[in-house]
Amino acid sequence: METIHLPDLDGFYLEDSYLLGFMAVGKDIRLNALFALNSDHPSFETPKDGEAHCYREGYILIESPTQIETKPGRTTILADPDGSLDLGSIELHKRPSGGYFLVTDWFEASFVTDNLSLKIP
């Protein structure tokens, strides 16, 4: 799939980031995540003992999507050793024809929005 580089993703290592859940917030969709950060991210700190990356909780904010299509992924949600849910890794692509494509272990989604951002509160 041909995609466009998203500067907003600089500093995030999505392949080792994890989707924690999602919710509708008014007209927006918020995908809560545990982000793995690269050393060039302003919130980066040395990884904790036993961790491969610096992790920070945050979210992907999809503002006022005008079109959403979803396809289910795996049917079972896994639990991590600490009991928290693991909804899998994240891939996010911008299509040259417009819109975005999101792939997780749990679902795939295509959506059209003018504003998408990754946030760490």
- For the entire predicted model, the pTM comes to 0.84
Q: Which residues, at least 6 apart from 79, have a Cβ–Cβ distance to it below 8 Å?
A: 85, 86
CB 110 within 8 A of CB 116: no
Mean pLDDT (the chain, rounded): 87
pLDDT of residue 75 exceeding 70: no
Burial class (CB in 10 A: 0-12, 13-18, 19+), 53: middle
Residue 5 above 70 pLDDT?
no
Is 34:52 a contact under the CB 8 Å cutoff?
Answer: no
Looking at the predicted structure, is the pLDDT value of residue 9 above 80? Answer: yes
Q: For residue range 21-73, list pLDDT tens digits in order.
A: 889 999 999 999 999 999 999 999 999 998 889 999 999 999 999 999 999 87
